[in-house]
Structure 1
Amino acid sequence: MRVFLGIELPDEVKRSLLSLPRESIEARWQTAEQLHLTLNFIGELDEAMVATLRERLQSPPLEPVSLRLKGVDVFGSAEHPKALWVRVEPAALLQHWHHTLRDRLEAVGLEQDERDFQPHVTLARFGRKAVSVKEFLKANEEYISPNFTVDQLCLFESHLSDKGARYEVIERFPVGTL
């Protein structure tokens, strides 16, 4: 199983993201079902390790958070983007969650990426063809989603195909129990 820890977005936030203008940019845009916030990518696990992970995620609580999405950005450059994404605020709280969860994952033998964590929601992915997103970035720099409260953390399974990824929640953990 290919798994990760993340946050489901409320329908109201998904609708807000899907309302951003897409017509002028050739990309693989995320569908409502694909929109989420990844906290910790884990990778391929067998059923036994998933069971161990579920047990490990039952202890000490994470603090609940109220979030919003604000402004768009790009991985790569505006002239040669790899992915288009929306920032998440407050980033510091999610960075704390990420590090706390990383410690729990490492405690059960799951190696974690040491790169800086940038909380974000991916809007679109790009192929090798050069596409400029300068105008999109400028037009949506003031984007703000409705505020939302995170009351659960999700263990997702990622199913990859040539049509893109499909994400399935395989377990939900109420924030007060993490």
Structure 2
Amino acid sequence: MKLFAAIFLPEKIALDCTREQKGVAGARWVSEEKLHITLGFFGDVDADGAELLDQELGKLRMGSFELNLEGGGHFGKTEPHAIWAGVSPSPELIRLNTHCRHAARRADIQMEARKYTPHVTMAYMKPKSPLDRIISFEQRLADWSTRPFLVDSFSLVSSHTKKRGPNMYREEATFPLLGEGVAP
């Protein structure tokens, strides 16, 4: 199964995002309940690896913190394939990403080596979507931000491909952010 670690958005923040999901031809908008900040993508993991990863992710002892979303952009230099909302800079978020990378390494799971860019994917783009509409969306989001929201947990999520429509997500485990320091 494909696994990733994520912070799902609180309902009010997800609703703020869905209000911005308009005006881009060729966009397949992400539904409110699937909007999330990815902390780490682990790829295809077998059952034993998933169990070990679950144990390793659960070792983090860290307090809750606040985030907010701001601005936006797109992925894909020559052919945009996704548009996103940005996440305010946060050392705590970077710490969570680093923890996910270390947990994967301890579970003998190879993660992609790309630089971590915290974001919420708002839409996946169909090929040849009009670039001017994507740029208009980004300009509209340039001054946009959400109110701060509390991050008090993160999740290990499985992604299951469907024959038609978007992938189905299932939360496999939830890890509360309640204390300080990293457990051995």
2:165 equivalent in structure 1: 163
Q: Distance in 2 between matches of 1:116 and 1:149?
A: 25
Q: Residue type of the partner of 2:148?
A: N
Q: Specify the alignment match of 2:6 in structure 1.
A: 6
Looking at structure 2, the residues matched to 60 and 137 of structure 1 have their Cα atoms a distance apart, in angstroms, of 35
**% identical aligned pairs:** 27
2:176 corresponding residue in structure 1: 174
How far did residue 63 of structure 1 move?
Answer: 4.0
More strand by share: 1
Match of 1:50 in 2: 50
After TM superposition, the structure 1 = structure 2 runs for residues 30-109 of structure 1, keeping only pairs within 5 Å, are 30-77=30-77, 80-109=79-108
Which structure 1 segments of 5+ residues have no match?
none
How many aligned positions are there?
Answer: 177
* Change in CA separation of 1:58 and 1:140 when aligned onto 2, cut-off 3 Å: closer
Contact 1:33 1:167 (C-alpha < 8 Å) held by counterparts: no
Gaps of 5+ in 2: none
Q: How much has 1:30 moved relative to structure 2? A: 0.4
Deviation at 1:24, TM superposition (A): 4.2
Are residues 36 and 60 of structure 1, via their aligned partners in 2, closer, same or farther at CA, if it must alter by over 3 Å?
closer
1:145 partner letter: T
Deviation per CA, 1:107-141: give whole Å up to 9, x if none: 12011211100000000111221422111111221
Contact 1:7 1:152 survives alignment (8 Å)? yes
Length-normalised TM-score, structure 1 = 0.91
Measure, in 2, the Cα distance between the counterparts of 1:124 and 1:60: 31
Correspondence 1:144-163 to 2 at 5 A: 144-161=145-162, 162-163=164-165
Once the two structures are TM-superposed, the CA of residue 95 in structure 1 deviates from its matched residue by: 2.0
Distance in 1 (alpha carbons) for counterparts of 2:47 and 2:21 = 41
Distance 2:129 2:154 in 1: 36
Q: Distance in 1 between matches of 2:143 and 2:151?
A: 23
